[in-house]
Amino acid sequence: MIEYIIQTVAAVIGTAGFCLIFRVKVKRLPVILISAAACYLIYIAAFNMGASVFAASLLSSLVISLASELFAIWFKAPVTVFFISSILPLIPGAHLYYTMDAIFRNDIETALYRASLTLQTIGGIVLGLAIISAIFHCIRIASKKK
């Protein structure tokens, strides 16, 4: 349990650093950091309950995409400001690193396994974003027709 708390705190610190480097407005920072923590905790909880890497990434991405759309409306800002910053803890950097490491060590079996995990994570993130974005796009179109 303590390792998940430490990992979540590290994810929030990393997200804060990203936000500061890219000059995210300070008034948006609290909701982004809470979203980043939620993103990672949802992923870990889903994964620990037996979900695949893809399913855990998808669930986390769906929740964060929905929150990002709502925050964008609330703060009158682009969705990408909230989504990209909040989804950072899920970016599969370690999987990509170990994929490349296995390739350089000529361990093809490990490289394929790690590449599979990388693609599953990316696929879950992209699909979650696409689903929520499509729903909000349809809502926007329907509200303009009225």
Give the model confidence (pLDDT) of 115-135 as tens digits. Answer: 999 999 999 999 999 999 999
- The answer to whether residue 145 scores a pLDDT higher than 90 is no
Residue 72 tokens, joined: 């964008």
pLDDT of 1 reads 83
**Do 82 and 72 meet the contact criterion of CB atoms below 8 Å apart?**
yes
pLDDT of 6 reads 94
Please tell me the chain's helix, strand, coil percentages from 3-state DSSP, rounded to the nearest 5. Answer: 90, 0, 10
Tens digit of each residue's pLDDT (9 = 90 or more) over 19-54: 999 999 999 999 999 999 999 999 999 999 999 999
Q: Which of 37, 39, 32, 90 is nearest to 63 (CA)?
A: 39
Q: Output the CA torsion 117→122→123→125 (10° steps).
A: 130
**Do 96 and 113 meet the contact criterion of CB atoms below 8 Å apart?**
no
Average confidence score pLDDT of the chain: 94
Distance of alpha carbon 84 from alpha carbon 80, whole angstroms: 6
- The percentage of residues in the chain with a pLDDT greater than 70, rounded to a whole number, is 99
pLDDT of 33 reads 96
- The answer to whether residue 17 scores a pLDDT higher than 90 is yes
**Do 123 and 52 meet the contact criterion of CB atoms below 8 Å apart?**
no
pLDDT of 111 reads 95
pTM metric for this prediction: 0.91
SS3 call for 143: helix
